[in-house]
């Protein structure tokens, strides 16, 4: 097929792809395979203006923050209708189907055969086998007509390599006994390392969550990439805890269904998120957004949740991520995700992200330290991991969670210095240089922390079976989301973009359990890592919360 109106094509900046390490081509993609793409359109305002307004709002005290409604956001920062029209016309000229247009999300969804798609965007699509599994992929950049180059910020869906990893430690310890009986018969710990398992409300009590609040009137959104939940598991779990059975709704972002039982490990992630969030904020509505675990899935899931005008989540929890430093995150994807989080800030939505479960290595054994994205985005609350130190059945303190890597049967809280996101203004003066060669400074991870060690882990119900000692920073993101939902209820307005307050006014407030013991190097010196110390550090951030004191401090900032 030739272009109806031949014109010069140019490479789309940030769209370059390399092979997954160890991948090899096994053949061409079936030319008749139907592929659906997401085209990300520029904002009617400049990208710098979007970032500047998000930063400016974050610098304000809560009492002076005026969040944008979805309609206001669309009118100021959505896609221009004339831009959309030009791209739609181009797609139709190439016989592509226009599936959906969303000006607020700045996305146009199109579909066509692999042959049509490849010819339209000047790419060669191949099928690859790799250590991460088989995938459809390409090398080099995507190409678009020069007239459309200023209008398009990203094209997602050509490559469907796996790009999501749950941050959960799901042990083999399981029981047919109800969760309440497991908690009631839990052995008293006599050592700081004796394994125990807590119900999420017990961890909320340890962190002094404000007891008179339930998160009523709030909606917590959970981002998931596969797996699912069953109504029977949810009903049984919460009835055993003598808590109201929560309202949990599944939203399919791109045709990905709520499918419990297909992958028990992923089901564990979904159920951990739901059961932690809903038991710690029993009055909140829970909405679970299911998407494919690809670059396209990330962009669609996050933008869908943030711009959801039906459910209006005031806080999102993301227990997934992937390592910086691999050819997983293209710069167009990082830009799209960061801009979505900037939109969340302007609309008063707090985003909580798990920082990872493999310490400073972050599951990339190349001899360097790494952090996870999207936890390394400056516009999310990055949630790290601690170990509860117990004696005589009581919590005596906390340390950095580090008992090795998942590949060695352990886990460690992710943290360090971003290589792709610069130091935000509110973090200046807090971030040390990276331990990697060059010792550059970037966004420091995490911001806050909470119990993540499987040895002081959580008791959940998944696929009809009780699992104990469940750990990972996957538990910390929904824990913080639940605390924020409770605080939003009391404050009467969302706390929204919390980070500038944490590093500003709240940095001198006594609202955290400061973690000063341990390091997050799971290789014990092979790659290097970071040590905990007084104040913020790249292991546990400011520490774990005293929920009541944090709420009181935020209430003072609300006037």
Residues recognised as catalytic: 269, 273, 474
Phi-psi map region of 98: left, alpha, beta (phi>0 left; psi -120 to 50 alpha): beta
Smallest CA-to-CA distance from 381 within 285, 228, 487, 274 is with: 487
Contacts of 72 (CB under 8 A, 6+ apart): none
Smallest CA-to-CA distance from 516 within 496, 494, 490, 543 is with: 543
Smallest CA-to-CA distance from 90 within 158, 137, 155 is with: 155
Q: What angle do CA 275, 455, 412 make, to 5 degrees?
A: 90
Residue 222's alpha-carbon distances to 70, 166, 276, 362, 478, in angstroms, are 19, 13, 11, 22, 8
Helix (H, G, I), strand (E, B) or coil at 386: strand
φ and ψ at 34, to 5 degrees?
Answer: -85, 130
- Residues 384 and 473: their CA atoms lie apart, in Å, by 6
Q: Hey, how many other C-beta atoms are within 10 angstroms of the C-beta on 30?
A: 13
Cis ω before 374 (30° cut-off from 0):
yes
- Residues 299 and 58: their CA atoms lie apart, in Å, by 23
Rg of the chain over all Cα atoms, to the nearest angstrom: 23
Q: Hey, how many other C-beta atoms are within 10 angstroms of the C-beta on 549?
A: 15
Residues composing the chain: 559
> Which H/E stretch holds residue 466?
strand 465-470
- Residues 144 and 152: their CA atoms lie apart, in Å, by 9
How would you class 171 by CB atoms within 10 Å of its CB: exposed for 0-12, middle for 13-18, buried for 19 or more? middle
φ and ψ at 81, to 5 degrees?
Answer: -55, -35
- Residues 220 and 284: their CA atoms lie apart, in Å, by 7
- Residues 383 and 320: their CA atoms lie apart, in Å, by 12
φ and ψ at 437, to 5 degrees?
Answer: -55, 140
Smallest CA-to-CA distance from 480 within 495, 459, 467 is with: 495
Q: What angle do CA 354, 61, 426 make, to 5 degrees?
A: 50
Smallest CA-to-CA distance from 29 within 143, 132, 117, 95 is with: 117
- Residues 247 and 239: their CA atoms lie apart, in Å, by 13
Residue 293's alpha-carbon distances to 15, 137, 153, 341, 344, in angstroms, are 18, 14, 21, 19, 21
CA-based torsion, 539, 223, 341, 418: positive or negative: positive
């Amino acid at each position: 097929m030739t272009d109806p109106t031949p014109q010069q094509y140019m490479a789309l900046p940030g769209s370059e792809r390399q092979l997954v390490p160890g991948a090899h081509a096994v053949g061409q993609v079936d030319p008749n395979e139907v592929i659906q793409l997401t085209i990300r359109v520029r904002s009617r305002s400049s990208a710098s203006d979007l970032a500047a307004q998000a930063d400016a709002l974050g610098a304000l005290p809560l009492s002076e923050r005026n969040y944008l409604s979805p309609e206001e956001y669309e009118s100021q920062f959505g896609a221009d209708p004339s831009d959309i029209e030009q791209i739609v016309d181009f797609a139709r000229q190439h016989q592509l189907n226009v599936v959906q247009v969303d000006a607020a999300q700045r996305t146009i969804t199109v579909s066509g055969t692999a042959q049509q798609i490849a010819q339209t965007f000047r790419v060669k699509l191949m099928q690859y086998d790799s250590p991460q599994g088989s995938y459809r992929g390409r090398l080099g950049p995507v190409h678009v007509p020069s007239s459309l180059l200023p209008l398009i910020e990203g094209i997602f869906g050509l490559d469907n390599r796996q790009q999501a990893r749950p941050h959960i430690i799901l042990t083999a310890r399981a029981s047919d006994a109800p969760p309440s009986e497991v908690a009631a018969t839990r052995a008293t710990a006599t050592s700081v390392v004796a394994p125990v398992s807590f119900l999420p409300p017990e961890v909320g009590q340890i962190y002094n969550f404000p007891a008179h609040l339930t998160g009523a009137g709030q909606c917590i959104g959970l981002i998931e990439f596969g797996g699912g939940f069953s109504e029977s598991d949810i009903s049984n779990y919460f009835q055993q805890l003598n808590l109201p059975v929560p309202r949990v709704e599944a939203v399919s972002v791109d045709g990905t269904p709520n499918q419990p039982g297909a992958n028990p490990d992923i089901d564990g992630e979904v159920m951990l998120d739901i059961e932690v969030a809903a038991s710690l904020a029993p009055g909140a509505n829970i909405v679970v957004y299911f998407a494919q675990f690809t670059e396209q899935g990330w962009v669609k899931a996050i933008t869908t949740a943030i711009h959801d005008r039906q459910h209006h989540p005031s806080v999102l929890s993301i227990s997934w991520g992937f390592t910086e430093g691999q050819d997983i995150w293209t710069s167009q994807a990082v830009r799209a995700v960061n801009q979505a989080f900037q939109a969340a800030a302007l609309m008063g939505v707090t985003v909580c992200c798990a920082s990872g479960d493999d310490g400073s290595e972050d599951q990339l054994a190349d001899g360097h330290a790494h952090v996870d994205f999207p936890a390394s985005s400056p516009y999310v609350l990055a949630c790290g991991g601690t170990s509860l130190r117990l004696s005589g059945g009581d919590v005596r303190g906390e340390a950095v969670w580090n008992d090795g890597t998942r590949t060695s049967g352990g886990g460690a809280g992710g943290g360090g210095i971003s290589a792709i996101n610069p130091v935000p203004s509110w973090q200046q003066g807090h971030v040390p240089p990276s331990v990697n060669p060059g010792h550059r400074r970037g966004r420091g991870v995490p911001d806050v922390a909470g119990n993540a060690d499987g040895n002081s882990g959580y008791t959940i119900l998944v696929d009809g079976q009780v699992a104990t000692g469940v750990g990972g920073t996957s538990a910390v993101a929904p824990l913080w989301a639940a605390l924020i939902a409770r605080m939003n209820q009391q404050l009467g307005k969302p706390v929204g973009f919390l980070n500038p307050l944490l590093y500003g006014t709240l940095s001198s407030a006594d609202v955290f359990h400061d973690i000063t013991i341990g390091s997050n190097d799971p290789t014990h010196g092979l790659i290097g890592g970071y040590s905990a110390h007084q104040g913020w550090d790249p292991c546990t951030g400011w520490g774990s919360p005293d929920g009541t004191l944090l709420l009181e401090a935020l209430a003072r900032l609300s006037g």
